[in-house]
Every structure is written in C-alpha cells, then in structure tokens.
C-alpha cells in the first residue's frame, strides 16, 4: 500500500505542468510608459485657461490623424457663462501647454481670439 501511495504521489507530482525555461527566456519584457508622456485620459476634461488667465472651458476630445497616428487638433468645449454661446472649437495641439502638477491646460490665445474661432460640428 505504501509503495502505491508513493507511486501515486510521484505520478501526481510529475503531472504538474512546469514552465519551460526556454519559454520564460523568450517572453518579451513588459514595456513601461515614459513618465514624461501624458495619457489621453489625463488630458480629457482638464480645465482650459487662456493666456489672459480666464477659464474658458475644458478639453473635450482629441482628433487623431489615422494615417500618422498623431493628434492633430484638440476639441475644447467653450463654457456658456463666459458670455459666449456654448460651442465646440478645434485648436491645434501646439496651441496648448501644460504645467506639471496642475490640473489645467493653457490655451495660447486670449479670450477674444478664442471667441473668434468658428464652432465645429462635434458629436462624440
């Protein structure tokens, strides 16, 4: 009986799958996101301020060129309480700047320049 138990235990032990060292060595390492890069979900819904320090709205969406994979414009929802009709505008990404540690985006335009931008037809 004892020999049967030992044989059964040995068979059970040998039946357990063991990771192959060759597979473990060939597995790709986990990639890390560069900490200086910004994730899109951290940009969406951020408050937008003009260079004259007026809060004008928030980042609503990002427009990506499918042929290059690059962000071409940023959709900003302009707030109604600024005396402007609620509208969405598209601004080039290079017109925005971020300050580390702040939850705001600065639009490198004045309120007057922003109000002169045409509204876009935006539906998410």
11 domain residue, yes or no: no
For residue range 36-49, list pLDDT tens digits in order: 777 788 789 999 99
The residue that leads in pLDDT, 13 or 48, is 48
Q: What is the pLDDT of residue 36?
A: 75
Q: What is the pLDDT of residue 41?
A: 81
76 domain residue, yes or no: yes
Q: What is the CATH number of the domain that holds 75?
A: 2.30.30.240
53 domain residue, yes or no: yes
32 domain residue, yes or no: no
Cβ neighbourhood burial of 28 (10 Å; 0-12, 13-18, 19+): exposed
Q: How many domains does the chain have?
A: 1
H or E segment to which residue 5 belongs: helix 2-15
């Amino acid at each position: 009986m004892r020999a049967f138990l030992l044989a059964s235990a040995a068979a059970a032990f040998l039946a357990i799958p063991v990771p192959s060292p060759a597979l473990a060595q060939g597995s790709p390492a986990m990639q890390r996101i560069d900490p200086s890069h910004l994730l899109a979900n951290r940009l969406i819904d951020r408050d937008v301020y003009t260079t004259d320090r007026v809060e004008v709205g928030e980042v609503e969406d990002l427009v990506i060129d499918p042929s290059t994979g690059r962000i071409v414009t940023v959709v900003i929802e302009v707030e109604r309480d600024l005396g402007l009709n609620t509208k969405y505008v598209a601004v080039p990404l290079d017109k925005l700047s971020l300050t580390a540690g702040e939850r705001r985006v600065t639009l490198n335009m004045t309120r007057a320049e922003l109000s002169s931008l045409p509204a876009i037809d935006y539906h998410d």
